[in-house]
Amino acid sequence: MTEKGPPDQAARVRPRLEALIPAAILVLRVALRRTPWFFDWMIVLSLYWILYVFLAGRRERTFVTVGVMLLLLGIYLWRVLPILADTFLFCL
């Protein structure tokens, strides 16, 4: 049987460093965008990446993934359906 020692310092710092890239993307996108955050898929994915890093090994990660995928589907349909409707009306 092996004993678990104190957690390694690198193992504790790694999630914080991993979350720096999506945090930087998030800050830049929020600073440069004028539309609400839930219409910008890059902001949604940056938030998801940060949550994914900090929810490693937890059950909630599945629910967060499903929620983000539904939100991204909603963003896609919100932007594509008017274009498709105009295209179909033009063809008639």
In a domain, 31, yes or no: yes
- The pLDDT tens digits of the residues spanning 34-83 come to 767 667 888 889 889 888 888 877 888 889 899 999 999 998 898 898 88
The answer as to whether 2 is a domain residue is no
Cα–Cα distance, 17 to 87 (Å, whole number): 46
Residue 40 lies in a domain: yes
To which residue do tokens 């937890």 refer? 58
Give domain status of residue 4, yes or no: no
Residue 76 lies in a domain: yes
Of the listed ranges 10-14, 29-33, 57-61, 82-86, the one predicted with least confidence: 10-14
Residue 1 lies in a domain: no
Domain around 43: 9-91
CB 8 within 8 A of CB 1: no
Check: pTM over 0.75? Answer yes or no. Answer: no
Total number of domains in the chain: 1
Could you give the CA distance from residue 34 to residue 76 in angstroms, rounded to a whole number? 18
Whether residue 16 is contained in a domain is answered as yes
